[in-house]
Amino acid sequence: MQHEFQFTVAPEKPEGFIHQYRRQKYHTKTVFGWLKDYKAKVKGYRPFIILVVDGLLESDKWTNLFGSRSQVDGMAVFTVRDFDQFVNDKIRFFRYYLVRYA
C-alpha cells in the first residue's frame, strides 16, 4: 500500500456543484473551467483534483480522448466511456488513470 496519496470522493455538497454539468460530450477547456470554479468555491488545500466523466472527451486538438490534465493548475479529467474496449475491469481502469494523473 502506498501512503503518499489520499484519493477521496468530493464531499456531498460541493460534489453536487459538478453533477449539474452532466452531459454526453465534454470539452477539456470547459471541464477545467468548472474545476477552477469548484476549487474556488470549496476552498481549502486541494492541490490536485481529478474529475471522472462518462461521455466523449475532446480538446481543441484531439477528439475521443481518454483523459487530459492541466499540470499548472493540478487538475485532470478522464472518461470511463468505452473503457471496456480496452480492459475488462473498471477498477483497474480507474486505478491506472488516478495514478497517471496523480
Q: Report pLDDT digits (tens) over 50-87.
A: 999 999 999 999 988 899 999 889 999 999 998 878 78
Cβ burial, residue 51 (10 Å; 0-12/13-18/19+):
buried
CB-CB contact of 50 with 60 (8 Å): no
Lowest mean pLDDT among 28-32, 37-41, 74-78: 37-41
Q: Look at residue 98 in the predicted model and tell me its pLDDT.
A: 86
Which pLDDT score is estimated for 61?
94
Q: How far is CA 6 from CA 2, 29, 36, 69, 82, in A?
A: 9, 26, 20, 18, 27
3-state DSSP call for residue 49? Answer: strand
